[in-house]
Structure 1
Amino acid sequence: MKIGYTTGVFDMFHIGHLNILKRAKENCDYLIVGVSTDELVENYKHKTPIVPFDERVAIVEAIRYVDQVVPQVDRDKVAAQERLGFDIMFVGDDWKGSPLFSQVEETFRQRGVDVMYFPYTKGTSSTVLREKLEKIN
Protein backbone atom coordinates (compact mmCIF):
# COMPACT_ATOMS: atom_id res chain seq x y z
CA MET A 1 0.00 0.00 0.00
CA LYS A 2 1.39 3.40 -1.02
CA ILE A 3 0.89 6.07 1.68
CA GLY A 4 0.79 9.69 0.56
CA TYR A 5 1.10 12.91 2.53
CA THR A 6 0.40 16.56 1.86
CA THR A 7 -0.01 19.60 4.03
CA GLY A 8 -1.66 22.98 3.91
CA VAL A 9 -3.46 25.68 5.77
CA PHE A 10 -6.69 25.03 3.82
CA ASP A 11 -8.06 28.42 4.83
CA MET A 12 -11.17 29.45 2.90
CA PHE A 13 -11.28 26.07 1.13
CA HIS A 14 -11.26 26.56 -2.67
CA ILE A 15 -10.77 24.68 -5.94
CA GLY A 16 -6.96 24.77 -5.66
CA HIS A 17 -7.21 22.85 -2.38
CA LEU A 18 -9.58 20.33 -3.91
CA ASN A 19 -7.31 19.90 -6.96
CA ILE A 20 -4.24 19.00 -4.88
CA LEU A 21 -6.18 16.56 -2.69
CA LYS A 22 -7.78 14.85 -5.69
CA ARG A 23 -4.49 14.56 -7.59
CA ALA A 24 -2.70 13.31 -4.49
CA LYS A 25 -5.26 10.56 -3.94
CA GLU A 26 -4.91 9.52 -7.60
CA ASN A 27 -1.24 8.78 -6.84
CA CYS A 28 -1.52 6.82 -3.59
CA ASP A 29 -3.72 4.30 -1.80
CA TYR A 30 -4.00 6.11 1.52
CA LEU A 31 -3.78 9.91 1.85
CA ILE A 32 -2.76 11.65 5.06
CA VAL A 33 -3.27 15.41 5.16
CA GLY A 34 -1.53 17.70 7.63
CA VAL A 35 -3.59 20.80 8.42
CA SER A 36 -1.51 23.68 9.76
CA THR A 37 -2.46 24.87 13.23
CA ASP A 38 -3.38 28.51 13.72
CA GLU A 39 -0.18 29.02 15.74
CA LEU A 40 2.01 27.61 12.96
CA VAL A 41 0.36 29.85 10.35
CA GLU A 42 0.77 32.91 12.55
CA ASN A 43 4.41 31.99 13.13
CA TYR A 44 5.53 31.64 9.51
CA LYS A 45 2.93 33.55 7.48
CA HIS A 46 2.41 36.28 10.07
CA LYS A 47 -1.35 36.21 9.64
CA THR A 48 -4.24 34.50 11.35
CA PRO A 49 -6.35 32.10 9.28
CA ILE A 50 -9.89 33.33 8.71
CA VAL A 51 -11.33 29.85 9.33
CA PRO A 52 -10.32 28.42 12.75
CA PHE A 53 -8.20 25.25 12.90
CA ASP A 54 -10.96 22.90 14.13
CA GLU A 55 -13.26 23.99 11.29
CA ARG A 56 -10.50 23.61 8.67
CA VAL A 57 -9.85 20.08 9.97
CA ALA A 58 -13.57 19.24 9.74
CA ILE A 59 -13.71 20.49 6.14
CA VAL A 60 -10.64 18.51 5.06
CA GLU A 61 -11.87 15.37 6.88
CA ALA A 62 -15.11 15.57 4.88
CA ILE A 63 -13.33 15.41 1.51
CA ARG A 64 -13.68 11.93 0.04
CA TYR A 65 -10.08 11.84 -1.18
CA VAL A 66 -8.71 12.20 2.37
CA ASP A 67 -8.18 9.13 4.55
CA GLN A 68 -6.63 10.75 7.63
CA VAL A 69 -6.10 14.30 8.92
CA VAL A 70 -3.31 15.21 11.34
CA PRO A 71 -2.37 18.58 12.83
CA GLN A 72 0.72 20.15 11.30
CA VAL A 73 2.42 21.84 14.27
CA ASP A 74 5.74 22.54 12.52
CA ARG A 75 7.17 22.51 9.01
CA ASP A 76 9.60 19.62 9.60
CA LYS A 77 8.65 17.24 6.78
CA VAL A 78 11.39 14.75 7.69
CA ALA A 79 10.03 14.38 11.25
CA ALA A 80 6.52 14.00 9.79
CA GLN A 81 7.75 11.20 7.53
CA GLU A 82 9.40 9.42 10.46
CA ARG A 83 6.21 9.74 12.50
CA LEU A 84 3.69 8.86 9.76
CA GLY A 85 5.69 6.53 7.51
CA PHE A 86 4.49 7.91 4.17
CA ASP A 87 6.08 6.83 0.87
CA ILE A 88 5.34 9.93 -1.19
CA MET A 89 4.78 13.59 -0.40
CA PHE A 90 2.67 15.86 -2.59
CA VAL A 91 3.53 19.55 -2.86
CA GLY A 92 2.38 22.51 -4.95
CA ASP A 93 4.98 23.45 -7.55
CA ASP A 94 5.22 26.96 -6.10
CA TRP A 95 7.53 25.33 -3.49
CA LYS A 96 9.79 23.61 -6.03
CA GLY A 97 13.38 24.77 -5.72
CA SER A 98 12.80 26.49 -2.38
CA PRO A 99 15.50 25.95 0.26
CA LEU A 100 13.01 24.06 2.47
CA PHE A 101 12.05 21.54 -0.20
CA SER A 102 15.45 21.18 -1.82
CA GLN A 103 16.76 19.88 1.51
CA VAL A 104 13.68 17.71 2.08
CA GLU A 105 14.00 16.19 -1.40
CA GLU A 106 17.63 15.20 -0.77
CA THR A 107 16.83 13.57 2.59
CA PHE A 108 13.79 11.80 1.17
CA ARG A 109 15.75 10.56 -1.85
CA GLN A 110 18.18 8.85 0.53
CA ARG A 111 15.23 7.22 2.31
CA GLY A 112 13.37 6.12 -0.82
CA VAL A 113 10.54 8.63 -0.29
CA ASP A 114 9.28 10.40 -3.41
CA VAL A 115 8.25 14.05 -3.73
CA MET A 116 5.67 14.83 -6.40
CA TYR A 117 4.92 18.43 -7.38
CA PHE A 118 1.54 19.51 -8.72
CA PRO A 119 0.87 22.66 -10.74
CA TYR A 120 -0.36 25.57 -8.70
CA THR A 121 -4.00 26.41 -9.55
CA LYS A 122 -3.69 29.79 -11.23
CA GLY A 123 -6.03 32.59 -10.27
CA THR A 124 -7.15 31.25 -6.92
CA SER A 125 -5.62 31.08 -3.49
CA SER A 126 -6.64 31.96 0.03
CA THR A 127 -4.49 35.09 -0.31
CA VAL A 128 -6.36 36.15 -3.47
CA LEU A 129 -9.71 35.49 -1.76
CA ARG A 130 -8.60 37.49 1.29
CA GLU A 131 -7.58 40.43 -0.94
CA LYS A 132 -10.92 40.34 -2.75
CA LEU A 133 -12.79 40.37 0.57
CA GLU A 134 -10.74 43.33 1.79
CA LYS A 135 -11.64 45.30 -1.36
CA ILE A 136 -15.35 44.66 -0.75
CA ASN A 137 -15.12 45.96 2.79
Structure 2
Amino acid sequence: MIVYTLGTFDLLHVGHLALLAYCKSLGDTLAVGVASDRVVNSYKPNVPVIPLEERMEMLKALRCVDIVRPYYELEYVSGCKALNADIFVVGEDWGTKSHNIAVESYLKSGGKQIKQVLYDPRTSSTKIKQNVRDQTSNGIYSKLSVA
Protein backbone atom coordinates (compact mmCIF):
# COMPACT_ATOMS: atom_id res chain seq x y z
CA MET A 1 0.00 0.00 0.00
CA ILE A 2 1.18 3.47 -0.87
CA VAL A 3 0.38 6.22 1.62
CA TYR A 4 0.58 9.84 0.49
CA THR A 5 0.55 12.92 2.67
CA LEU A 6 1.60 16.47 2.01
CA GLY A 7 2.43 19.75 3.65
CA THR A 8 4.87 22.59 3.92
CA PHE A 9 7.26 20.92 6.38
CA ASP A 10 8.92 24.22 7.22
CA LEU A 11 11.01 24.07 10.40
CA LEU A 12 10.73 20.30 10.76
CA HIS A 13 9.50 19.45 14.28
CA VAL A 14 8.10 16.64 16.46
CA GLY A 15 4.57 17.15 15.14
CA HIS A 16 5.83 16.44 11.63
CA LEU A 17 7.70 13.37 12.86
CA ALA A 18 4.59 12.02 14.61
CA LEU A 19 2.51 12.53 11.45
CA LEU A 20 5.05 10.83 9.22
CA ALA A 21 5.49 7.86 11.59
CA TYR A 22 1.70 7.42 11.70
CA CYS A 23 1.45 7.62 7.91
CA LYS A 24 4.19 5.01 7.51
CA SER A 25 2.31 2.67 9.86
CA LEU A 26 -0.62 2.66 7.41
CA GLY A 27 1.23 1.10 4.48
CA ASP A 28 4.43 -0.13 2.90
CA THR A 29 5.53 3.04 1.11
CA LEU A 30 5.25 6.59 2.39
CA ALA A 31 5.25 9.37 -0.19
CA VAL A 32 5.40 12.98 0.98
CA GLY A 33 4.38 15.96 -1.12
CA VAL A 34 6.09 19.23 -0.25
CA ALA A 35 4.42 22.53 -1.12
CA SER A 36 6.37 25.05 -3.14
CA ASP A 37 6.70 28.58 -1.80
CA ARG A 38 4.11 29.78 -4.32
CA VAL A 39 1.59 27.17 -3.17
CA VAL A 40 2.16 28.05 0.49
CA ASN A 41 1.81 31.75 -0.27
CA SER A 42 -1.57 31.06 -1.89
CA TYR A 43 -3.09 30.11 1.49
CA LYS A 44 -0.72 31.57 4.10
CA PRO A 45 0.56 35.14 4.47
CA ASN A 46 4.25 34.15 4.49
CA VAL A 47 6.41 31.83 2.45
CA PRO A 48 8.47 29.18 4.30
CA VAL A 49 11.71 30.08 6.05
CA ILE A 50 13.48 26.99 4.70
CA PRO A 51 13.79 26.73 0.88
CA LEU A 52 11.85 23.96 -0.87
CA GLU A 53 14.93 21.93 -1.86
CA GLU A 54 16.21 21.92 1.74
CA ARG A 55 12.79 20.94 3.14
CA MET A 56 12.76 18.04 0.69
CA GLU A 57 16.31 17.04 1.60
CA MET A 58 15.42 16.87 5.31
CA LEU A 59 12.40 14.68 4.60
CA LYS A 60 14.42 12.36 2.35
CA ALA A 61 16.83 11.79 5.25
CA LEU A 62 14.07 10.32 7.45
CA ARG A 63 13.88 6.51 7.61
CA CYS A 64 10.08 6.45 7.47
CA VAL A 65 9.91 8.48 4.23
CA ASP A 66 10.33 6.60 0.95
CA ILE A 67 9.40 9.20 -1.68
CA VAL A 68 9.54 13.00 -1.57
CA ARG A 69 8.04 15.08 -4.34
CA PRO A 70 7.34 18.79 -4.67
CA TYR A 71 4.00 20.14 -5.77
CA TYR A 72 3.59 23.46 -7.52
CA GLU A 73 -0.20 23.80 -7.80
CA LEU A 74 -2.85 23.72 -5.10
CA GLU A 75 -4.41 20.47 -6.31
CA TYR A 76 -3.83 16.91 -5.16
CA VAL A 77 -5.33 14.60 -7.77
CA SER A 78 -2.23 14.59 -9.97
CA GLY A 79 0.00 13.53 -7.07
CA CYS A 80 -2.36 10.75 -6.04
CA LYS A 81 -2.53 9.55 -9.66
CA ALA A 82 1.23 9.73 -10.25
CA LEU A 83 1.90 7.72 -7.09
CA ASN A 84 -1.12 5.43 -7.43
CA ALA A 85 -1.75 6.23 -3.75
CA ASP A 86 -3.98 3.86 -1.80
CA ILE A 87 -4.37 6.14 1.22
CA PHE A 88 -4.22 9.93 1.28
CA VAL A 89 -3.66 11.43 4.74
CA VAL A 90 -4.82 14.99 5.46
CA GLY A 91 -4.88 17.27 8.49
CA GLU A 92 -7.76 18.29 10.70
CA ASP A 93 -8.17 21.59 8.86
CA TRP A 94 -9.24 19.79 5.69
CA GLY A 95 -12.10 21.74 4.27
CA THR A 96 -14.52 21.89 1.39
CA LYS A 97 -12.44 23.87 -1.09
CA SER A 98 -12.64 22.71 -4.69
CA HIS A 99 -9.18 21.10 -4.71
CA ASN A 100 -10.12 19.06 -1.61
CA ILE A 101 -13.44 17.93 -3.05
CA ALA A 102 -11.74 16.97 -6.33
CA VAL A 103 -9.24 14.64 -4.67
CA GLU A 104 -11.91 13.13 -2.39
CA SER A 105 -14.03 12.35 -5.44
CA TYR A 106 -11.06 10.86 -7.29
CA LEU A 107 -10.08 8.66 -4.34
CA LYS A 108 -13.61 7.43 -3.66
CA SER A 109 -14.21 6.61 -7.32
CA GLY A 110 -11.11 4.40 -7.29
CA GLY A 111 -11.88 2.67 -4.00
CA LYS A 112 -9.02 4.53 -2.29
CA GLN A 113 -9.04 5.89 1.26
CA ILE A 114 -8.68 9.35 2.71
CA LYS A 115 -7.74 9.60 6.39
CA GLN A 116 -7.94 12.75 8.44
CA VAL A 117 -5.60 13.19 11.43
CA LEU A 118 -5.43 15.65 14.31
CA TYR A 119 -2.45 17.93 14.56
CA ASP A 120 0.10 17.26 17.27
CA PRO A 121 -0.66 19.88 19.94
CA ARG A 122 2.95 20.09 21.14
CA THR A 123 4.17 22.48 18.47
CA SER A 124 3.87 23.89 14.98
CA SER A 125 6.11 25.83 12.63
CA THR A 126 3.93 28.87 13.29
CA LYS A 127 4.48 28.55 17.06
CA ILE A 128 8.23 28.13 16.58
CA LYS A 129 8.40 31.23 14.39
CA GLN A 130 6.37 33.21 16.94
CA ASN A 131 8.70 32.09 19.76
CA VAL A 132 11.70 33.28 17.77
CA ARG A 133 10.03 36.64 17.09
CA ASP A 134 9.10 37.02 20.78
CA GLN A 135 12.58 36.16 21.95
CA THR A 136 14.14 38.46 19.38
CA SER A 137 11.95 41.36 20.45
CA ASN A 138 12.90 40.66 24.09
CA GLY A 139 16.57 40.99 23.18
CA ILE A 140 17.49 37.36 23.83
CA TYR A 141 18.92 36.72 20.37
CA SER A 142 20.49 40.15 19.95
CA LYS A 143 23.06 39.16 22.62
CA LEU A 144 24.09 35.99 20.78
CA SER A 145 26.77 36.03 18.14
CA VAL A 146 26.24 34.19 14.89
CA ALA A 147 29.02 31.76 13.97
Q: Do the aligned partners of 2:30 and 2:67 also contact (CA within 8 Å) in 1? A: yes
The answer for the alignment partner of 2:21 in structure 1 is 22
> Which amino acid counterpart does residue 125 of structure 1 have in structure 2?
S
The answer for the alignment partner of 1:94 in structure 2 is 93
Gaps of 5+ in 2: 137-147
How large is the Cα RMSD of the aligned pairs? 1.4
Between the aligned partners of 1:28 and 1:115, the Cα distance in structure 2 is 13
TM-score of the two chains, using structure 1 as the length reference: 0.90
SS at match of 2:6: strand
The answer for the alignment partner of 2:125 in structure 1 is 126
> Which amino acid counterpart does residue 50 of structure 2 have in structure 1?
V
TM-score of the two chains, using structure 2 as the length reference: 0.84
Identity %: 35
SS at match of 1:130: helix
Query: Shift of residue 38 of structure 1?
Result: 1.6
SS at match of 1:106: helix
> Which amino acid counterpart does residue 63 of structure 1 have in structure 2?
L
| Residues 107-136 of structure 1: per-residue CA shift (max 9 Å, x gap) | 311221101122210131111111111111
Between the aligned partners of 1:103 and 1:16, the Cα distance in structure 2 is 27
> Which amino acid counterpart does residue 30 of structure 1 have in structure 2?
T
Gaps of 5+ in 1: none
Alignment partner of 1:39 is 2:38: yes
Alignment partner of 1:11 is 2:10: yes
Query: Shift of residue 62 of structure 1?
Result: 0.5
Q: Do the aligned partners of 2:77 and 2:102 also contact (CA within 8 Å) in 1? A: no
SS at match of 1:48: coil
Between the aligned partners of 2:46 and 2:110, the Cα distance in structure 1 is 34
SS at match of 1:76: coil
